[in-house]
Amino acid sequence: MIKEITCISCPNGCEMSVEVVENKIIRVENNKCERGISFANEEIFNPQRMLCSTVKTSDPKNLRLPVRTDKVIPKNKIFEAMKCINNIVINKNIQMGEKIIENLLGLGVSIIASQSLKINSNNV
């Protein structure tokens, strides 16, 4: 089987063809650097992504707070992770980098704030 993937390891963005036979990569074509080969291996057998999203807040001036994972998570866990993130409502001051969710889905990954939030108690 041949899979077409776009490498994101460097700015080249190579459109690569990866031939997989019996769960083994046989050939990688069109990569411009060696990082393409290791990217192809990860992308085919263990795809992972950083997750960036927002969570609700109780502050009427800042209805959403941007958040992200502090490490990559398995790509097949993104929708499950989003269910957890969508259940959060922030009702206190938050500093950028502060943990919002620890050990997301038991993966050893945290959801952290991508910016600070100061909730004005007069507005809540």
Residues 26-65 pLDDT 10s: 999 999 998 999 999 999 999 999 999 999 999 999 999 9
Buried b (16+ CB within 10 A) or exposed e, 50-86: ebebebebebeeeeebebbbeeebeeebeeebeeebe
Per-domain boundaries in the chain: 2-46, 52-113
CATH topology of domain 52-113: CPE0013-like fold (3.10.530)
d(CA 20, CA 27): 7
Q: What is the pTM (predicted TM-score) of this model?
A: 0.81
pLDDT above 90: residue 123: no
What are the DSSP E strand ranges found in the chain? 2-6, 15-21, 24-29, 48-49, 52-59, 62-69, 73-74, 89-90, 99-101, 111-113
Task: Tell me if 27 sits within 8 A of 41, measured CB to CB.
Answer: no
pLDDT above 90: residue 122: no
Task: Tell me if 14 sits within 8 A of 39, measured CB to CB.
Answer: no
Compute the average pLDDT of residues 101-116.
97
pLDDT above 70: residue 121: no
The pLDDT of residue 119: 86
pLDDT above 60: residue 69: yes
Percent of the chain with pLDDT over 70: 97
The pLDDT of residue 120: 74
Task: Tell me if 61 sits within 8 A of 95, measured CB to CB.
Answer: no
Alpha helices in the chain (DSSP H): 35-45, 78-86
